[in-house]
Amino acid sequence: MKIALIFSPAAGHPFAELRDFAREAERVGVESFWVSDHFFGGPVGVGDRDCLEAFTLLAALARETRRIRLGVLVAAAQYRNPALLAKIVAGIDQMSDGRFEFGIGAGWKAAEYSAYGYEFPPAGTRVDQLKDTLEICRRLWTSDRATYHGRQYRIDDAVCAPKPAQRPHPPIWVGGSGPRVMRLAARYADGFDLGRRGPGGTPLGADEMAAALAEVRKVCDEAKRERPIALSHWVSAELGADDDSRHELIERIRGYERAGLDRLLIAFPRDRAGEMIDRLGEVLAQA
């Protein structure tokens, strides 16, 4: 199982801090470094914390790192015109020499949509927008010119040049939990990020994880998907200097690996992330 790190720019990280985290993660052998796609942290009107835009940040990290893979988990389909989004992703994949991972979902943070002037339609419409975005991105990445007329978005004879460095395109990850989103992942994506949590937001146990992943695979089988879908999930964790926290994380990694998870993304607390990334290298050697 691959071990990754995920950070939310909405937590107020300055660029230099995230750059150093990405470099340190690369040094200790972390497989990939991910950021979430938000414009601010907390409710509207509470503080003016720094919040770097996800794709701008990833473009910069592409030039500040050499080996670690870089991804967004997950972009909101409505925040950027789909054709523009395809161009942005292709550009970052070129800048990173083919290290980009593209995560996308139907969006959820209603207050953010309202604050920035985006419509926040019902869930069914947002899933339609996600479908059209996936169609447009894939067509632009794989065709010289692309035309598509969907329910929500359309393109006519559009061009994406340069193409992504990865062929046919960067890995596509769809994130969410509903059956319709799972069906879109089965049809369009290379991987599915499981958004489910236990009661009160608690981490899933190994058995709960196995059951949740089996549900995703069942949807893929029903959709007659021909190749296995990769599966990921993120959890918050703390990694202190004590043996107990190290053992707890190692056991969670091993349990999720037995359950069939392909990538675990770990979110460390902002104020102690630097020291925890260093300790994570020791955990990777044992897990």
Provide φ and ψ at 21, rounded to 5°.
-60, -45
Please give the pLDDT value at position 80.
Answer: 98
- pLDDT tens, residue by residue, 157-211: 999 999 999 999 999 999 998 899 999 999 999 999 999 888 888 899 999 999 9
pTM beyond 0.85: the answer is: yes
Return left, alpha or beta for 75; rule: phi > 0 is left, psi -120 to 50 is alpha, else beta: beta
Query: Omega before 122 cis (within 30°)?
Result: no
Run means of pLDDT, 10 residues per run, the chain, 287 residues: 96 95 97 96 66 97 98 98 98 98 96 95 98 98 98 98 98 94 98 91 94 96 96 95 92 96 96 94 84
Rounded to whole angstroms, the Cα distance separating 254 from 261 reads: 10
E strands present in the chain: 2-7, 32-35, 69-76, 100-105, 146-149, 154-158, 172-176, 191-194, 230-236, 263-267
Domain at 121, CATH number: 3.20.20.30
User: Between helices 206-222 and 179-188, what is the axis angle to 10°?
Assistant: 60
Domain count, the chain: 1
3-state secondary structure of 66: coil
Note down the domain range covering 122: 2-286
Q: Find out whether 104 and 73 touch, Cβ atoms under 8 Å.
A: no
Please give the pLDDT value at position 199.
Answer: 85
Q: Read off the amino acid at residue 64.
A: E
Residue that is written with structure tokens 């959820």 in the block: 108
Provide φ and ψ at 55, rounded to 5°.
-75, -35
Please give the pLDDT value at position 201.
Answer: 84
3-state secondary structure of 218: helix
